[in-house]
Amino acid sequence: MTINEFNFAGKKAIVRVDFNVPLDENGKITDDTRIRGALPTLKKILADGGAVIIMSHKSLGQIREAVEKALGVPVAFAPDCAKAQDAAKALKMGEALLLENLRFYPEEEGKPVGVEKGTPEFDEAKKAMKASQKEFAKTLASYADCYVMDAFGTAHRKHASTAVIADYFDTDNKMLGLLMEKEVQAVDNVLSNIKRPFVAIMGGSKVSSKIGIIENLLGKVDKLILCGGMTYTFAKAHGGEIGDSIVEMDKLDVALGVEELAKKNGVELVLGSDCTATNGLDFDTMSVKPGAEIINCPANKVPAGFEGVDAGPESQKAFADAIAGAKTILWNGPAGVFECDTFTPGSRAIGDAIAKATAEGAFSLIGGGDSVACVNKFGLADKVSYISTGGGALLEAIEGKVLPGVAAIKGE
C-alpha cells in the first residue's frame, strides 16, 4: 500500500516524522527543512479528511505553534506520549496532535538502562526491555487506525516508533510516507536501477568509517573517487610523506586492500594526486591563523609541520574529469575542510562537476550532512537530482544493509 493509494477519510493516522529541528537560545526554529519535508504527507492525510498524530524524538511542545502554522489546522499537544489515549480520542478529523518526545521513554530505543553490557544481568535486562518495547509500541499503535513511516533519518534503527509499531497494523494500514518513498526511490536509483557510467565520490576523514560502503560500491560503480582526509591514509600506505595530515596508521593495509579490490573489479579508482596544505588552520574558528603559510604540494610529499586540508588543482581537475559524462552519481563526504572558506575549491570542483553532469541528464544523489552542507553553501541545491535527509540511514542503505523502518512496512 502506498500513501497515494490510501484514502484517509475518517481515519486517524499516526505518523513517524523527523522533527529534530535546530532551535536557538530563545527556542525559535533556525532551520525548518525537516518540517517542510514532512508537509506533503501530513497534508495529504488532512486533505483526505483524516486526522494526524505526529511523533518524533524531539520535545515537540516547543514547536507546536510552528507546526500549526505550517499545517494550517488546529494542533494539540500531548505532554506524555505513552499516556495520550484521551488526547487521541478527542482528536477530530482535520486536526493534528503532537506527542511529546518518544525518547523520554527508554522503550523507544529498546536499550537496557543502568546495566553493564556483557554481563548476565544485561542479557536479562535486554529481554525484559524488548518485551517493554513491544508494549510501548502497542500503546502508540492504539491511538490510530493506520501507521505512516516518514522519517528516513531513523529508518536504520529498530525503534518502537520506526519498526516495532508496524507489527500492530495489518498490511493495508501501514505505509511509507511521501518523503520516505522519495528516499527509497533515490537509493534504488543509485544501487539497483543504475544508468552507467556510475561514479561515486566518497570523502571524509576516515577510511574506517566508510570501508563497508566503499567495498559495496566497488561491486557496483565504474569509477570511485576517494577524497578528503582519507587521501593521506592511502598516500602513507605507499610510503608517502604526509606531514601532520590526518591518517589512520592501523588502516594502511585496508587502503591497499581497497586498491586491490578496485583493480580486481575493473573499477577506476581516483585518488587526489596533490593537495592544498597549511601550517596554521584554526579548527575552532575555521580560519587560517595570521602569518600561516598555504601551499600546494603532492599528496605524498606534504612537508613536516603542514597538513593537507583540501584537494589541489590537479586533483580538482581529475575529479571533475572523472565525473564528466556520468549518468548516475553518488556524493558522500567533502574533499577538504570546506567549513573554512579558504579551503572550499576541492569540494566546489566536485559540486560544480556534479551540477554540470546533472544538467546533462545524470541522476545525482547527495547524502551525508557535510555533502549536503557543501551543496547548500555553494548554492547548488536546485542543480542536483536529490538531497537525502538521512545521514546514517543512507550510509547503511548504500552499504547494502536492510533498513528496519522500511522492512517493517514491506513485511520483510
| Residue pair 15/166 in contact by the 8 Å Cβ criterion | no
**375-403 mean pLDDT:** 89
Active-site annotation holder among 94, 257, 392, 400: 392
**386-403 mean pLDDT:** 86
94 is catalytic: no
Residue 369 in this model has a pLDDT that exceeds 80 = no
**209-233 mean pLDDT:** 95
229 is catalytic: no
Residue 389 in this model has a pLDDT that exceeds 80 = no
369 is catalytic: yes
Residue 191 in this model has a pLDDT that exceeds 80 = yes
Tell me the C-alpha distance between 24 and 22, whole Å.
7
- Give pLDDT tens digits for 131-177: 999 999 999 999 999 999 999 989 999 999 999 999 999 999 999 99
Task: Give the dihedral of Cα atoms 406, 161, 101, 71; nearest 10 deg.
Answer: 60
Instruction: Identify the CA nearest to 329 among candidates 234, 217, 228, 229.
Output: 217
Active-site annotation holder among 49, 219, 305, 369: 369
* DSSP states of 146-192: EEEE--GGGTTS--TTTTGGGGGS-GGGEEE-HHHHHHHHHHHHHHT
Active-site annotation holder among 11, 34, 174, 348: 34
Cell numbers standing for residue 361:
541528464
Tell me the C-alpha distance between 201 and 214, whole Å.
10
Cut 0.95: pTM above it: no
**372-377 mean pLDDT:** 90
In this prediction, residue 12 carries a pLDDT of 98
Q: Looking at 24-28, 134-138, 176-180, 380-384, which range is the least confident one?
A: 24-28
Active-site annotation holder among 134, 158, 206, 401: 206
In this prediction, residue 326 carries a pLDDT of 98
Looking at this protein, which amino acid is placed at residue 156? Answer: H
Residue 34 in this model has a pLDDT that exceeds 90 = no
The confidence band for 275, taking pLDDT boundaries of 50, 70 and 90, is very high
